[in-house]
Amino acid sequence: MASYRRIEVKPIAGALGAEIANVDLSTLDDETFRQIEAAWLEHLVVFFRNQTLTPEQQIAFAKRFGEIHYHPFMKGMDEHPEILEIIKEEGDTRVFGEVWHTDQMFNPKPAKATILYAKETPDAGGDTLFANMYLAYDALSDPMKEMLKGIKTSNVGDRKILSRSDEIGSTKDGRYAGNEKMAAKVRDPGDVQTESTHPLVRTHPETGRKALYISNHTQTLEGFRRAEARPILDFLMTHAVQPEFTCRFRWEVGSLAIWDNRCTQHRALNDYPGKRRRMHRITIAGDAPF
């Protein structure tokens, strides 16, 4: 494990995830940012607690990681289009992102990173799970790795979600059933591409490590018959999110997470009926996976 001079980095699980202490994200210098970025690449998702950030400060922190990615068909905040407000009201029965996924896999250039900042949290529940896709790849047998080499996947979202995964963002008609606030944010995607082909095993552009690139956005393996692809995808999805490859984060107001969509999956738990939760979310633009 690397050592960090300016920040305190404490892993929260064996597989991935670390809390970083001794940092005020509203006044970050370049050297501290470099250490945060290194810790993020090492731990895949990092968490900060008790942060007090204005939208401008969250945007400034996000921009250190790259260009802001604007969601193709969900509307950001009126004053800050960079920020998507993720709200679950007391009466909502659904939450945003409640099946295992990696963000915007339907896009030819999916988001590199997502920054989520907690504004209102339930007393209990509403945790987020993360899974390490480097470990998921590394743990496969050599013959399985050999078979998966070069395979391409077809990935759909959020308006085109099929039977397996109607909870990532929306129902088949593009509406967030049971979540009124989120439903109001969905615009007609028009010509936006909502289906993309990606490698099943991708190489992380910064670490050079191989990761399994699969999620509930993934529908088929190119060139395979459906009856062949289905059991392979089912196996890989179950394999990839086994508890040993995961961590779980308990939110408080002021907690902030940043995860790497190139080597993780995540899932929001829908276990706080009758309670409200509100988050400020920014995504960072990514490159085409290879």
Ligand X SMILES: O=C(O)CCC(=O)C(=O)O
Q: How far is the CB of 206 from ligand X (least distance, A)?
A: 20
Catalytic residues: 101, 103, 266, 281
Please select the residue that binds Fe ion; options are 82, 103, 158, 260, rule is CB under 5 A. 103
**Residue 200 binding: pick among Fe ion, ligand X, none (C-beta 5-8 Å cut-off by kind):** none
Q: How far is the CB of 266 from ligand X (least distance, A)?
A: 6
217 versus 266: smaller Cβ distance to ligand X: 266
Residue 167 tokens, joined: 């909870």
Residue 287 is classified by DSSP as P
47 in Cβ contact with 116 (< 8 Å): no
Cα–Cα distance measured from residue 253 to residue 198, given in angstroms and rounded to the nearest whole number:
36
Which stretch, 45-53, 95-103, 197-205, 237-245, contacts ligand X (CB under 6 A)? 95-103
**Residue 53 binding: pick among ligand X, Fe ion, none (C-beta 5-8 Å cut-off by kind):** none
Which stretch, 1-9, 10-18, 91-99, 134-142, contacts Fe ion (CB under 5 A)? 91-99
Q: Which residues of 231-266 are buried (b: 16+ CB within 10 A; e: fewer)?
A: ebbeebbebbbeeebbbebebeeebbbbbbbbbbbb
Name the residue whose CB lies closest to Fe ion. 97
98 in Cβ contact with 268 (< 8 Å): yes
Cα–Cα distance measured from residue 122 to residue 110, given in angstroms and rounded to the nearest whole number:
30
**Which residues are at the interface with ligand X (CB under 6 A)?**
86, 96-97, 103, 114, 116, 128, 266, 268, 279, 281
**Which residues are at the interface with Fe ion (CB under 5 A)?**
97, 103
